[in-house]
Amino acid sequence: MKYDEPKPGEWVRPVKRGYRMMCCDCGLVHTMDFRTTRWGRGRKVWFRVFRNNPATAAARRATQVKV
């Protein structure tokens, strides 16, 4: 799988469910889910993160990351 490579500090717009993020230093991949809820007159963003071991192994093999 190809991952986006944003520049440091660059804003990205993830998909709501199943967004994958990989660390460029160690190759660790996390799957993230997002949701928004009403909060007063505005909205709050919530997210949860899970380590994705199969994607991490595949990414590290593909990029030759050694940890």
Q: What is the tens place of the pLDDT at every residue in 41-67?
A: 999 999 999 999 999 999 888 877 766
Q: Tell me how far apart the alpha carbons of residues 8 and 6 are, in angstroms, rounded to a whole number.
A: 6
Sequence spans of domains, the chain: 1-67
pTM over 0.75: no
Instruction: Quote the DSSP letter at residue 4.
Output: -
3-class SS string, 8-57? CCCCCCCCCCCEEEECCCCCCEEEEEEEEEEECCEEEEEEEEEECHHHHH
Confidence label for 1 from pLDDT (cuts 50, 70 and 90): low
